[in-house]
Amino acid sequence: MNYKLFYAPGTASMAVHWMLIELAVPFEAIPVDISQGQQRDPEYLRLNPSGRVPTLIVDDVPYGETVALMMLLAERHAAAGLMPDTNSPDRAEWLQLTIYIANTLMPAMRDWLYAAKDGDPAGADAVKALAERRISSVWDNFETRLEAKGDHLLGERFGMVDMLAVMLMRWSRKMPCSAIDRPTLHQYATQVTRRPSYIDLCDREGLSGWPT
């Protein structure tokens, strides 16, 4: 299996980068300097017409969308156990939680982060206020899950949804609705980010200081 990841530190590519490290599969990582607009270079747009990261080249074919890439990797490397097996009783809940994060949390994060850029700046405060409520509702969900299930969002076993969730929790670190202001989520993030794969990821991407 041949993988090549185009990424930018700390962005939506972070969870895919983390997953490749966790899987311990060979891959090439190519940084995209979004501060210099490299994601809009014609050469990059041929790989990913949306002009976003990540892009993952899988056996010489480019694909995008963070959640889709994580699901693909989890399926291709099923022995790693980062998602429930097809016939597992936990499979439906895994699918539900994955799509919930993708459809509820990720759009709300983008609305908060880019309210003034993507829409009318005059309405940015209202957009951000609504986004905060949606983000907080997801943190409520995560707290309830962790209190019921244990160490991880789907139970005792670490998996794909934990990498996705922790990446997005990290994004909230400068928001009024920061995930780690909640003791249950702070404990969860602290535990998950002690994994060697996360520490390696931060070293490779030059990230530090979260959670604190």
Residue ranges of alpha helices (H) inside the chain are 14-23, 42-47, 66-76, 91-100, 106-113, 115-118, 124-149, 160-171, 183-192, 196-205
SS3 53: coil
Share of the chain above pLDDT 70, in %: 100
- The two tokens of residue 127 are 């957009």
Is pLDDT of 124 > 90?
A: no
Q: Domain spans of the chain?
A: 3-80, 91-195
pLDDT band at 117 (very low <50, low <70, confident <90, very high): confident
In sequence order, the 6+-apart residues with CB closer than 8 A to the CB of 203 are none
5: phi then psi, degrees, rounded to nearest 5: -105, 125
Which CATH number describes the domain made up of 3-80?
A: 3.40.30.10
Instruction: Please give the order of strands across the beta sheet that includes 61-64.
Output: 28-31, 3-7, 55-58, 61-64
Would you give the end-to-end CA distance of the chain in angstroms?
37
- Report the range of poorest mean pLDDT among 20-29, 44-53, 148-157, 174-183: 148-157
pLDDT at 14: 98
Kindly report the length of the chain.
212
Mean pLDDT over residues 173-183, rounded? 96
Per CATH, is 91-195 categorized as 1.20.1050.10?
A: yes
Prediction pTM value = 0.95
Cis peptide upstream of residue 54 (ω within 30 degrees of 0): yes
Q: Confidence class of residue 40 from pLDDT cuts 50, 70 and 90? A: very high
* CA dist., res. 51 & res. 57, Å (int): 15
Amino acid identity of 18?
Answer: W
